[in-house]
Amino acid sequence: MKTLWQNCHAATMAQGVYSIIEDAAIVTQGEHIHWIGPRAQLPTGDYPTVHDLQGAWVTPGLIDCHTHTVFGGNRSGEFEQRLQGVSYAEIAAAGGGIASTVRATRAASEDELFASAARRLKSLMRDGVTTVEIKSGYGLDLANERKMLRVIRRLGAELPVSVRSTCLAAHALPPEYAERADDYIEHICTEMLPALAAEGLVDAVDAFCEYLAFSPAQVERVFVTAQRLELPVKLHAEQLSSLHGSSLAARYQALSADHLEFMTEDDAKAMAQSGTVAVLLPGAFYFLRETQLPPMDALRKHGVKIAVASDLNPGTSPALSLRLMLNMACTCLRLTPEEALAGATIHAAQALGMAQTHGSLEAGKVADFVAWHIDRPADLAYWLGGELEKRVVRHGVEID
Ligand code: DI6
Ligand code: FE
């Protein structure tokens, strides 16, 4: 059964580039887009259901390709401390930071974690998000990483949103392994990842490569294990210092390297060669009041694909709106609204290894799209948060 959606314009992102169809028509069949083009060229046929989109702009469903949506507690108290001048690194060194969220996450039940994460995820979805990536990384032992990953799977099963799970066991050193980072990496590689992968809980593997987290050599051991388990890798790299984690990620054909404020031009070249997407996280940049910008010119010059994500997490980016991140990507990081939109659609899909099926409006792709009541596509990066009037279609079916 075919369904026709018409009286709209479309920003398609077809073939990975920003492109527009004025007075478009979209035909969906089941979960997929069957045809899209100018309404004047609509194939004649039988369309039992016709939707009038009343002049809306249709974009692919937004994709948030880097979040830590599942966690216990929150860290607004640390936010207050930082406003008094205490740094993120100082808070972490005093046992706060990620460690405090680890304590709260370990203490929470699966149901409690699900309930709080579902509230945050619904907030992202109210912004037109139809696909989201969620990382573990606040459990830091087998039982608690498993608990987080099970919650992530359950969010995808119970809410109308596609969820990819990433194992971020190498996020921080758990207290049981204090001063024994190499032993913890060994535990991740020999026990945690093999078990969690065998249970089908992991779509990709991530790590935090930073002077206050794990070294490139330690990250590489995690990547070797991921490769053996046939899981794609991603990396938090170059957020606070330059360790060339992004070049390491490129050597392992990582789907993405994320943050990147301190990356070099050589890192950008390596990422371009391997097709590794640069995921920019303006929420963390803003919230930590960073001043070092990611090297946008080098990324553009070498043709690195750029995505934009929320990094939704309790410590550095309590961001509940991906559209607000599009605005910040433009105002803080100097993206154009067109780059920002590509960053939350087709390039975000590539950062999740889903670009064959998601991220653009093209025949054959999954019918995930949003019909926005806006004047121009740039409006999506223009309004500062709030809720825009829209209709969201996921797998060919309208959701509220
Ligand atoms: N980089 C980040 O921005 C988050 N994790 C990471 O590796 C911060 C996580 C937190 O502070 O809870
Ligand atoms: Fe992150």
Please, what are the domains in the chain? Answer: 2-60+361-399 (2.30.40.10), 62-351 (3.20.20.140)
CB distance 136 to ligand 1 below 6 Å:
no
Question: Is the CB of residue 75 less than 8 Å from the CB of residue 315?
Answer: yes
**pLDDT value of position 240:** 92
- Give the position, in ligand 1's atom list, of the atom nearest the Cα of 210: 7
**pLDDT value of position 95:** 87
CB distance 236 to ligand 1 below 6 Å:
yes
Distance (Å) from CA 207 to ligand 2 centroid: 9
| pLDDT tens figures, 239-257 | 999 999 999 999 999 999 9
- Give residue 385's pLDDT band: very low, low, confident or very high (50, 70, 90): confident
Measured in whole angstroms, the distance separating CA 72 from the mean position of its chain's CA atoms is 20
- Give the position, in ligand 1's atom list, of the atom nearest the Cα of 311: 3
Q: Where are the alpha helices (H) located in 137-252, listed in sequence order? A: 142-158, 181-187, 193-198, 216-228, 245-251
| pLDDT tens figures, 128-174 | 999 999 999 999 999 999 999 999 999 999 999 999 999 999 999 99
φ/ψ of 341, rounded to 5, equals -65, -40
Query: Which residue puts its alpha carbon closest to atom 7 of ligand 1?
Result: 208
Kindly state the average pLDDT of the residues 274-298. Answer: 97
For the beta sheet containing 369-372, the strands, ordered from the edge strand earlier in sequence to the opposite edge, are 32-38, 20-29, 2-11, 49-60, 369-372, 390-394, 397-399
Distance (Å) from CA 315 to ligand 1 centroid: 6
For helices 142-158 and 98-107, the axis angle rounded to 10 degrees is 70
Distance (Å) from CA 56 to ligand 2 centroid: 33
**pLDDT value of position 267:** 98
Provide the percentage of residues in the chain whose pLDDT is more than 70: 100
- Give, in order, the Cα–Cα distances in Å from 223 to each of 141, 226, 240, 245, 372: 18, 5, 21, 12, 40
Question: Is the CB of residue 50 less than 8 Å from the CB of residue 4?
Answer: yes
Residue 342 reports pLDDT greater than 90: yes
- Give residue 89's pLDDT band: very low, low, confident or very high (50, 70, 90): confident
Residue 400 reports pLDDT greater than 90: no
Ligand with an atom nearest the CA of residue 316: 1
Measured in whole angstroms, the distance separating CA 131 from the mean position of its chain's CA atoms is 9
Q: Rounded to whole angstroms, how far apart are CA atoms 143 and 140?
A: 8
Question: Is the CB of residue 378 less than 8 Å from the CB of residue 337?
Answer: yes
| pLDDT tens figures, 22-54 | 999 999 999 999 999 999 999 998 999 999 999
Distance (Å) from CA 400 to ligand 1 centroid: 31
CB distance 101 to ligand 1 below 6 Å:
yes
- Give the position, in ligand 1's atom list, of the atom nearest the Cα of 138: 12
Kindly state the average pLDDT of the residues 359-383. Answer: 98
- Give the position, in ligand 1's atom list, of the atom nearest the Cα of 97: 11
Query: Which residue puts its alpha carbon closest to atom 3 of ligand 1?
Result: 316
**pLDDT value of position 103:** 97
- Give, in order, the Cα–Cα distances in Å from 362 to each of 1, 44, 376, 397: 18, 19, 20, 17
Q: Rounded to whole angstroms, how far apart are CA atoms 201 and 312?
A: 20
Provide the percentage of residues in the chain whose pLDDT is more than 90: 96
| pLDDT tens figures, 179-221 | 999 999 999 999 999 999 999 999 999 999 999 899 999 999 9
Residue 335 reports pLDDT greater than 90: yes
- The pTM of the whole model exceeds 0.85: yes
Distance (Å) from CA 8 to ligand 1 centroid: 40
What proportions of the chain, in percent to the nearest 5, are helix, strand and coil?
40, 25, 40
Residue 93 reports pLDDT greater than 90: no
Bridge partners, residue 4, by sequence: 27, 50
Residue 261 reports pLDDT greater than 90: yes
**pLDDT value of position 238:** 97
Q: Rounded to whole angstroms, how far apart are CA atoms 76 and 122?
A: 21
| pLDDT tens figures, 95-111 | 899 999 999 999 999 99
Q: Kindly report the average pLDDT of the chain as a whole number.
A: 97
**pLDDT value of position 92:** 86
